[in-house]
Structures are given as C-alpha cells and as structure tokens.
C-alpha cells in the first residue's frame, strides 16, 4: 500500500515537473523567435535596403519556429547566409556561410545566449559577415587577376 501511494505521488510530481519544463521551453523558444523578429530582422532589413543599391538581393529562405536564416546575395552563387537555430533554454546556434565562386566556402558555427540578442549585436553580426564576404570576394578577384596574368604570359611565349 505504501509503495502504491509513493508511486502515485512520484507520478504526479513527474507530470508536474514535465509540464513546468515544457512551459519553460516554450517560453524560451517564443522569446527567441520574438527577438529574431523584433531585433535581428529589422537589422537585416536595414542592411538589405543599403545593399539593394549595390546589386544585392536579400531574403529569408527559412522561417520556422526556432529557426531562421538571412541571406544577402550578389548573384546566384555569391552570397552570405546566416542561420539561427534555438538549441535549448536561453541558447542558440549561429551558422554562417560565405560563398564566392573560385574560392573555398567560409563556414562558421558558434553558440550564443539569447540574452546576447540586441540591436548592437545584430548590426555587428551583419557587418562582420559582410566584411568577411567582401574580403573573400576581393581575394577571388585577386586570384582571377593572377590567373589571367599567367595566361597572358603563356600566350606571350
């Protein structure tokens, strides 16, 4: 008899605990999505408007609960992609990819706290990603120039 009462008490506690845990997860997931919408998306739009004057397009290829991506694209195969994914209570993963034809893709993955998401952080993130893209793009142009010089030397012989 005593074990049956103890098991019922334990079962009730387990259900209560799981319910509280689900509520906490839901809260953090919702907070993450709200911050992506209210902080990161406006910064993305600001940079997108600026870059539109420089022949870029911007899009959000993935927009799901707990996951969002932001893309700046100069051409079909020349882009910066940032992907946010909620990974738990108060944390998220950020993946970035810069791709320029003729160069190795630059990929990065880092973990962050949801409490880090503010206007300055979002703007700094986009600036750093676009700076890395520009450096990769400049390196691609230098490489193409060096290849064309070598080709011209071959023709001269």
Kindly report, residue by residue over 26-51, the tens digit of the pLDDT.
999 999 999 999 999 999 999 999 99
Q: Give pTM, 2 decimals.
A: 0.80
DSSP letter, residue 157: -
What CATH code is carried by the domain that includes residue 90? 3.90.1150
CB of 58 closer than 8 Å to CB of 73: yes
Contacts 24+ apart (CB under 8 A), 141-146: 143/102, 143/103, 144/102
CA 92/CA 85 separation, integer angstroms: 5
Per-residue model confidence as pLDDT tens digits over 57-92 = 999 999 999 999 999 999 989 999 999 999 988 999
How many domains does the structure of the chain reveal? Answer: 1
> And the tokens for 122?
């979002």
- In terms of residue numbers, what domain contains 138? 2-156
Find residue 80's DSSP bridge partners: 72, 98
């Amino acid at each position: 008899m005593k074990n049956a009462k103890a098991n019922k008490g334990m079962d009730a506690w387990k259900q209560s605990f799981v319910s509280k845990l689900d509520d906490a997860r839901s809260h953090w997931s919702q907070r993450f999505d709200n911050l992506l919408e209210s902080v990161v998306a406006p910064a993305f739009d600001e940079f997108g408007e600026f870059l539109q004057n420089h022949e870029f397009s911007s899009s959000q290829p993935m927009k799901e609960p707990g996951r969002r991506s932001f893309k700046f694209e100069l051409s079909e195969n020349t882009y910066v992609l940032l992907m946010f994914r909620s990974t738990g209570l108060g944390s998220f993963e950020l993946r970035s990819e810069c791709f320029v034809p003729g160069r190795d893709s630059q990929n990065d993955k880092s973990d962050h706290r949801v409490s880090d998401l503010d206007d300055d952080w979002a703007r700094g993130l986009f600036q750093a990603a676009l700076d890395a893209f520009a450096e990769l793009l400049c390196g691609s142009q230098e490489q193409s120039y060096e290849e064309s010089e070598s080709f011209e030397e071959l023709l001269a012989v």
